[in-house]
Amino acid sequence: MLIQRLAVFCGSSAGERPVYAEAAQAMGRTLAERGIGIVFGGGSVGLMGVVADAALEAGGEVIGVIPHALAAREVDHRGLTELHKVDTMHERKALMAELSDGFIALPGGLGTMEELFEVWTWAQLGIHRKPVGLLNAAGFYDDLLQFLNRAVVEGFVRGTHREMLVVAEESALLLEKMAAYDPPAVPRWLGTGEW
């Protein structure tokens, strides 16, 4: 799968452990070195700022998308390749998806989780066929992955849909897995058959 740009979802906080910022730096650098542009939330704080700065320092393309209302709170990044200011969070996510060939979630909070689950749900519904990746830095998402596996066992998530989430603990491996991603034929999430 040809990937020219990836949307990166991550925390506006850096978290409590330095390993998360280290993972964000590695991701930004690795994407830039592979010639893959970044589309992200446009902030200069937290892991958002770390991943953007690392990619920019390595000569990468970094495109930010930020709502006007968050530009001051998340301190919009002034050194980006492009910065789009939009009116709503819905516009932000739609533009990020439009500009991207896939999605990666790094460690983050509620916003990161919401963005991850939305684009993953869009894949489940056949709205897009782009890879959705999860960087499980330092095991940050171990409990979430265990929960998702439980949801499959309990019949709330289909195994095919669970397998759509590409997971790795290291940037280069995650990007390799995403490049090799072969989207499944999407069965109806209710009933049988295909769309």
For the stretch 108-127, pLDDT in tens is 999 999 999 999 999 999 99
For the segment 163-182, the average pLDDT, to the nearest whole number, is: 97
Q: What is the mean pLDDT of the chain?
A: 93
Parse the chain into domains and list their residue ranges. 5-179
Residue 56: per-residue pLDDT = 98
With a pLDDT cut of 90, the percent of the chain lying above it is 87
Neighbours of 78 (CB within 10 A): 8
From 126, 141, 54, 42, select the one nearest 92 (Cα to Cα).
Answer: 42
Q: Tokens 């009116």 label which residue?
A: 87
pLDDT in tens, 125-160: 999 999 999 999 999 999 999 999 999 999 999 999
CATH of 5-179, picked from 3.40.50.450, 3.40.1190.20, 3.40.1000.10, 3.40.50.150, is 3.40.50.450
pLDDT per position as a tens digit, 50-101: 999 999 999 999 999 999 988 877 688 889 999 999 999 999 999 999 999 9
Strands 82-86 and 103-105: unpaired
Distance of alpha carbon 24 from alpha carbon 26, whole angstroms = 5
* pLDDT computed for residue 74 by the predictor: 65
Which two three-digit tokens encode residue 66? 């930020």
pLDDT tops 90 at residue 1: no
pLDDT at 166 over 60: yes
Rounded mean pLDDT of 162-180?
Answer: 97
Stated pTM of the model? 0.92
